[in-house]
Amino acid sequence: MFRNEQPQDKDYFDFLMDEANHPFTGWDFSHITATRRMVEGALSWSYSSKILMRLRQIQSLLDMGTGGGEFLSSLHPLPEHTCATEGYAPNVPIARQRLEPLGVKVYEVSDPHCQPFAENEFDLVINRHEYYDPQEVMRVLKAGHQFITQQVGGSNDVELLQM
């Protein structure tokens, strides 16, 4: 212990170290959402609702930047032809383990400007917080079909950064 450190300070420090060292895989934030240390505010629209409304009307779906597949695996029923991409290599085996039993083919994609899909392959392309190339989205999306995305910008949470 440091010279002026109280026992409860050491307990708190140990607690913080345990939290900092807690394992993190994919995009599974349940460790901090379950304790309400992270919450999402209400939006005027729901990303998942927009997608769920369309699932029964499509035969093919691409989830760009699936992370560990947590969100995609929560959608039911998935179209028979469903694919997912992930650019962060440590997430790829996590996504495959979660999604392949559901019939989803997971692709590791390091270049968002070169998707491994045919032109006009998908009825719906979804993307939550992943960089995308609009030209590639248009190339793989069937004409007249939809791209749904939820993005964050460089000025999101700027107040926290200024603290």
Percent of the chain past pLDDT 90, that is, above it, reads 63
Which residues sit opposite 146 in a β-bridge?
A: 124
The residue among 10, 135, 125 whose CA lies nearest residue 61 is: 125
- Asked if residue 86 lies in contact with residue 106, where contact means CB atoms within 8 angstroms, the answer is yes
- Asked if residue 56 lies in contact with residue 78, where contact means CB atoms within 8 angstroms, the answer is no
Which residues sit opposite 126 in a β-bridge?
A: 63, 148
Which domains does the chain possess? 1-39 (no CATH), 47-150 (3.40.50.150)
| Residue position matching structure tokens 């085996």 | 93
Residue 7 pLDDT grade (very low, low, confident, very high; cuts 50, 70, 90): low
**C-alpha span between 59 and 41 (Å, rounded):** 32
The residue among 141, 24, 126 whose CA lies nearest residue 74 is: 126
Is the alpha carbon torsion for 124, 129, 131, 134 positive or negative? positive
The secondary element (H helix, E strand) that includes residue 135 is helix 134-140
pLDDT at 71: 96
Q: Which residues, in sequence order, are CB contacts of 42 under 8 Å at separation 6+? A: none
pLDDT at 44: 75
Look at residue 156 and tell me whether its pLDDT is greater than 90. no
Look at residue 1 and tell me whether its pLDDT is greater than 80. no
Tell me the pLDDT tens digit for each residue of 71-90. Answer: 999 999 999 999 999 999 99
Question: Rounded mean pLDDT of the chain?
Answer: 87
Task: Supply the DSSP string of 2-40, one letter for each residue.
Answer: -TT--HHHHHHHHHHHHHHTS---TT--HHHHTTTSS-P
Residue 24 pLDDT grade (very low, low, confident, very high; cuts 50, 70, 90): low
